[in-house]
Amino acid sequence: MQREYYEPPKENILIVDDSPEHLRLLSSMLVRRGYHLNCVTDGEMALYAIQASMPDLVLLDIIVPLIDGYRICQALKAHEKTRHIPVIFVSSLDSEIDKVKAFKVGCADYITKPFFIEEAFLRIEAQLKIYRQQKDLDDLLQKNIRDRNHIEQELNQSRTLLAGVLNSSLDGVAAFEAIRDSDSKIIDFRWIVVNPVAAMTVGETRESLEGKLLFEQLPGHLFDSLFDVFVQVVENCIVFDKEHQYSFDGSWFHIVAVKLGDGFAVTFRDITEKKQMEISLKQMNYKLQHQANIDSLTQVANRRRFDEYITQEWGRCTRQQKSLSVILCDVDYFKFYNDAYGHQAGDECLFQVAQGISLTIKRPADVVFRYGGEEFAVILPLTQKEGAVKVAQDIREEIKKLKIVHDLSKVSKYVTLSLGVSSIIPNPKYSVESLIAAADRALYEAKSLGRDRIVYKSLELTID
């Protein structure tokens, strides 16, 4: 007998691109993997297509007729019904300005043409996975809200109706009375009401639990670490409404306990699956955030992260009135290196230089960045002139130790760096931009003086 397997339907993807070649390439890649496609060649057709059939993902070129990709993305993010749809720009524009603008208008990712098919597919799959997880999580949260509201309404009805609700509830529901010693101090709680789910959760039956002491006679149960909490619920009329991890097997429960006479009522639900989804989603978001801040070629922080971090540390050093230092580095005669050895060797050179600079950075707050092209930057919070120049010297020597052959260099037979350094205790007279400008002028002077050297400029000397 032939077995039938259920395969969830694939998502609907809208491709907006006026290049027949790229349409064919993307379409063949996605159709082969079972996705449903709709392809259009201009901005107006894209908006009509989205209104007619809501896609699960949009692959969007920036330069398309009638309405460009930026405006299409803005239109999607401006409406409640479409703002959740992930947008991936697929464009031949590869400047920092274009990419920053794309992320500002709300895109989820940016793929530069020409692209590698497998890389593009993995990025598309990553966004769809996040979309599925978010949708599943939203559905689960909505279901939990509906179920909980239903239970709260039923608890306000009569005892007879409550008994029927308890027996049919998907949550564990129980009620306890306080057991007190001769000084009226609570020493335990006794089960007085229990529904089938609650009994099953603690591995007992309703009949065996009723009248039994919660802590003395049932060690190791779900509520084992919550005795003091339940005492506070009864004595101080607090409401306990929290997610609680069961230490025995690591499962998660949402527990709500409220005072009921001289005792309390409790409802609980197994939310292990929801918590696992939340953790997975957080990990995915962290990974994507990390990728957004790292330069893919050199594996050090990128220019976007530089702009964020220097602003952050400027604020911190302003509050603490401590020095902030910046080092700008430039690979000497790198164009000659590329011309002589090729761009692939040039990329490898930049990677080695980035890693060499990173080896000299010792403190967690000191960060290396690819500033642009063959330029690198180092931000040194809480570091004065002397310390910054010492780090620059270490960087220069470390790159020399790499002995990357550079036959066309005019200063050495190996790759060298020119470095500009500047420091300041931030104050209202100056800005982040003025600190960077000082380091940049120092770098320019280092190159003007013959390269392969370090120049320091104080911030004050850069201000007219």
Query: What residues are annotated to the active site?
Result: 374
The 10 Å Cβ neighbour count of residue 334 is: 19
Quickly tell me which residue has 């993807």 as its tokens.
13
d(CA 177, CA 175): 7
| Residue 414, strand partner residues | 405
Phi, psi of 239, deg, nearest 5: -105, 120
Quickly tell me which residue has 């802590």 as its tokens.
215
The 10 Å Cβ neighbour count of residue 170 is: 12
Host H or E run for residue 114: none
The 10 Å Cβ neighbour count of residue 324 is: 27
Say if strands 12-16 and 324-331 run parallel, antiparallel, or are unpaired.
unpaired
Q: What angle do CA 430, 453, 376 make, to 5 degrees?
A: 60
Host H or E run for residue 410: none
DSSP H helical ranges for 65-116: 69-77, 96-104
Host H or E run for residue 241: strand 240-245
